[in-house]
Amino acid sequence: MNDTTTLSNAVQQASVSKDPITAYDQIRQRCPVVHDERLHWTLFKHEDVVNVLNDPQTFSNAVSRHVSVPNGMDQPEHTIYRALIEPFFNESRMAAFEPVCQEIAAELVRQSHQNQEFEFISGFAQIYAVRAQCAFLGWPESLHEPLNQWVRKNHQATLAQDRQALSEIAVEFDGYIRTLLEERRKAGTHAPDDLTTALMLETVNGQPISDEAIVSILRNWTVGELGSIAACLGILVNYLAKNLKLQHQLRYKPKLLPAAIDEILRIHPPLIASRRVTTQAVTVAGHHIEAGERLTLLWASANRDEAVFGKPDEFRNDRDPSQNLLYGAGIHACPGAPLARLELRLIMQELLKGTSRFALGENAAPVHAMYPAGGFDSLPIKLVMETCCGACS
């Protein structure tokens, strides 16, 4: 592969083959830096991606035309908002949320289709992501179904690259948040004592946060969380359905789950890429890139780089966690990682505890999500609960 080969063509080939991860592996091995008119400069190697993540002065995160707090900001503005946001994901908040989230997970498993094949992504994973996120933010249950519908519309518009629809969908989501803010302001001292209210009371440089910034923060938390948690859950269940020995081990040794979850999501990344823009001319892996050029960092390739992980498909629970780029690296590493890890651990614990095994469906094949989404669009699954015949009583 040479520089004239476009990533767009590679992505199309991956879609046809229904094996995008393998396609990214092949591109990385042949040409780790690719220039493409749509995605511009795309980096496939772990080393190159890490170097960009650790150099925010040269590679700016301000790539969107819209306000994006704080992930679309650079220093020093990013530092101010990051300091405001991180306490919302600290140990005490996670400890307080854990029993709430565990009950959500347990209830969903109890209500799930057992001993029959069903569509896992829309019928379980997306539902869990919405319920857990609403509970964390203090949003009412009346938003569950509208948000489920919103997720589906957003996914369809993203796949179609329908900019008009995406714009309308973004306005719709912001409308949900602005309604919540208005309700809390009207309630005054009787407003719910939840994370959303707490965020409204924060200040930046001694001044109240603007509604535009609050909406952006809550949008980033929610949109990112809903999509990524559902994608992660689908990947985890699919992987363990195909690896019954590991599934059995984790069912009886749940303490192994945190490292196992991160490793499975390294093998099959839920997040495909992120973007940067150069602030000055720079050389990356021998390629001269001018100032103002856009870059795509392909997580789905970097986290499987043979130079770092050896055999990328080999499951190992003892890898150096600092090398796993699942939640990014550098100053823009995901602040919500503690919440994501908590939600994934709890739902996997409940799924393993509440079933004898889970297996891939027999009536339809999984459908891989298309770029820029990760995971699966559709995943037929059977959650098996074997009951005692009574002879052992």
DSSP string across 215-252: HHHHHHHHHHHHHHHHHHHHHHHHHHHH-HHHHHHHHH
Q: What is the pLDDT of residue 18?
A: 59
Distance CA 264, CA 234 (A): 11
| Dihedral over alpha carbons 229, 233, 234, 239 (to 10 degrees) | 140
Proportion of the chain above pLDDT 70, given as a percent: 94
Mean per-residue pLDDT, 142-153: 92
SS3 376: strand
Q: Is residue 391 over pLDDT 50?
A: no
Q: What is the pLDDT of residue 154?
A: 86
Q: Which amino acid type is present at position 35?
A: H
Q: What is the pLDDT of residue 312?
A: 95
- For residues 17 and 189, the model is more confident at 189
Q: What is the pLDDT of residue 163?
A: 85
Phi and psi, residue 108, nearest 5°:
-65, -40
Q: Which residues are CB-neighbours of 77 under 8 A, at least 6 positions away?
A: 70
Beta bridge partners of 297: 43, 274
Q: Please spell the DSSP secondary structure of 338-351, one letter per residue.
A: HHHHHHHHHHHHHH
Q: Is residue 99 over pLDDT 50?
A: yes
DSSP state of 208: E
Q: Is residue 114 over pLDDT 70?
A: yes
Q: Can you say how many angstroms the Cα of residue 92 is from the centroid of all Cα atoms in its chain?
A: 23
Question: Minimal CA–CA distance to 104: which of 343, 306, 377, 365?
Answer: 343
Distance CA 88, CA 314 (A): 35
Least confident of 92-96, 127-131, 238-242, 364-368: 364-368
Query: Model pTM?
Result: 0.93
As to burial, measured by CB atoms within 10 angstroms (0-12 exposed, 13-18 middle, 19+ buried), residue 292 is exposed
Structure tokens at 292: 């103002």
Residue ranges of domains in the chain, CATH in brackets? 7-384 (1.10.630.10)
Beta bridge partners of 367: 378
Q: What is the pLDDT of residue 8?
A: 52
Q: What is the pLDDT of residue 10?
A: 52
Distance CA 20, CA 183 (A): 44
Per-residue pLDDT reduced to its tens digit, 273-322: 999 999 999 999 999 999 999 999 999 999 999 999 999 999 999 999 99
Q: What is the pLDDT of residue 372?
A: 77
Per-residue pLDDT reduced to its tens digit, 230-243: 999 999 999 999 99
As to burial, measured by CB atoms within 10 angstroms (0-12 exposed, 13-18 middle, 19+ buried), residue 24 is buried
Distance CA 356, CA 365 (A): 22
Q: In angstroms, how far apart are the furthest CA atoms of the chain?
A: 75
Beta strands in the chain (DSSP E): 33-36, 40-43, 59-60, 117-119, 203-204, 207-208, 273-278, 282-284, 287-289, 294-298, 357-360, 367-368, 376-378, 380-384
Q: In whole angstroms, how far apart are CA 177 and each of 14, 197, 201, 220?
A: 37, 12, 15, 12
Q: Please spell the DSSP secondary structure of 112-170, one letter per residue.
A: S-BSSEEEHIIIIIHHHHHHHHHHHHT--GGGHHHHHHHHHHHHHHHHHT-HHHHHHHH
Query: Which of 9-13, 21-25, 306-310: highest mean pLDDT?
Result: 306-310
